[in-house]
Structure 1
Amino acid sequence: MTPSRAARTAAVLAITDHVHTWADYWGQKDTDAKAKGLAGAEGRAACARHVANHTAHLAAALVAANGLLGLRLRPARLAAGLALAAATHYVADRSAGHWADPEPSTYLVRLAHKRGKQGWVQADPGAGPHLDQAWHRAWHLLAAAVIAR
């Protein structure tokens, strides 16, 4: 029996959400976490390593779940959804360490300021990480829909 698209999407989203949290914190190398927001080649490389590691965690979990749960995910859709998750993850994580900058210097920090979040971001050191995680989770919903299609 083929699971419905809705069931596949829900399963993929649940797996992606939980594995994301693991990969973003426990799976991330400390050196990459510290450097991923730096300007220049060092920051870009650290962010790319983190995103590659994060994406590998997601891919492994989804491939395993596909076999164990019989989700019948298509490889091309899986690749497309993971690419979406990876690209948006990179965009967000380049903001690491920049949330409280007086002048927004990254895409996500500029977006937060445009959405009226600058006061919260300036006053609360936890605001940036919350906005970062909300960004990731919203894109994971779209990635899950792509993967499950």
Structure 2
Amino acid sequence: MSHVRAARFAAVYALLRAAGDLADHWVQTDHQATNKGQHDHNDGQSSAAGRRACAAHVATYTATQTAALLIGSRVLGVRLRPGPAAVALALSALTHYAADRREPLHRLADATGKANFVRLTDFGMNGAYALDQAFHHTVETAAALIASA
């Protein structure tokens, strides 16, 4: 990896990560946060409502990351190719949707020996949130590698 590509990767990762935190914690509405994980098999919940809330959240999440990449790369003088940047944003969006519907991430945690941790809500810790964020950070790293090509 060239020094230029390494610097581009670092810039893209920082922009995606900062925008991701902003989108997850400030841009996301309370309605989206509380409803995006709804599923029909849970009493009083609706899968359709969950899908709508999650899609709305992912739309604003992706728009926030897109704005960060467009503005940040311009301010930093970092040239990004549109194709790889679009693929990176699509990867971030699609995986964010899957994780935020909650059950796919719980199944992944169960399959990898993290069943107890993903359900931990004690000792000042929320395992599902910690695993969710770690998943997003990992995907954003892959997205930054793609976008920096």
- TM-score category by the smaller chain? 0.7 to 0.9
Q: Within 5 Å, give how 1:8-87 maps onto structure 2.
A: 8-39=8-39, 40-87=47-94
Q: Deviations over 1:17-37 (max 9, x none)?
A: 111111101110111111100
Q: Deviations over 1:93-117 (max 9, x none)?
A: 000xxxxxxxxxx221011011111
Alignment gaps of 5+ in structure 2: 40-46
Coordinate RMSD, CA, aligned: 1.2
Q: Distance in 1 between matches of 2:120 and 2:66?
A: 37
Q: How many residues align?
A: 137
Q: Within 5 Å, give how 1:86-105 maps onto structure 2.
A: 86-95=93-102
TM-score by length of 2: 0.88
Q: Distance in 2 between matches of 1:61 and 1:17?
A: 10
Is this contact kept in 1: 2:28–2:61, CA < 8 A?
Answer: yes
Q: CA deviation at 1:131?
A: 0.2
Q: Distance in 2 between matches of 1:123 and 1:54?
A: 26
Q: CA deviation at 1:59?
A: 0.4
TM-score by length of 1: 0.88
Q: Distance in 2 between matches of 1:66 and 1:27?
A: 21
SS at structure 1 position matched to 2:109: helix
1:124 aligns with 2:121: yes
